Amino acid sequence: MKKQILSLAVVALLAFAVQSCEKKEPKPAEDELTLGNKVDSLTTDIEEVKDSAVIKTEKAAQEVKDATKQAAEDVKDATKKGAEKVEAAAKAAKDGTVKTAKDVDEALKK
């Protein structure tokens, strides 16, 4: 009977030792366990992504606006330069025509 009690005591002691040596995983914090907190976290993440997207869209829209304004100014400048060249060519043609008319007039007088 002593052997049985002694064996039972050794087995209990070994079981206790094995149990205390088991790897214990850390328990997640209580606030991480609730579904409401997970939903709140996801909602916050979605809001941050949405805000980031809005900011990026606004920046892109401003860049498009600036590029359009610059293109309009470039077209205006090019049109003005073209008009000046056409005006200069018309003046040169007029001056050439007047000179030619004078030359013809003088030639006819001779």
User: DSSP states of the chain as a string?
Assistant: -HHHHHHHHHHHHHHHHHHHHSPPPPPPPHHHH-HHHHHHHHHHHHHHHHHHHHHHHHHHHHHHHHHHHHHHHHHHHHHHHHHHHHHHHHHHHHHHHHHHHHHHHHHHH-
Question: Tens of pLDDT along 40-75?
Answer: 888 989 999 999 999 999 999 999 999 999 999 999
Assessment of whether the complete model's pTM goes beyond 0.75 = no
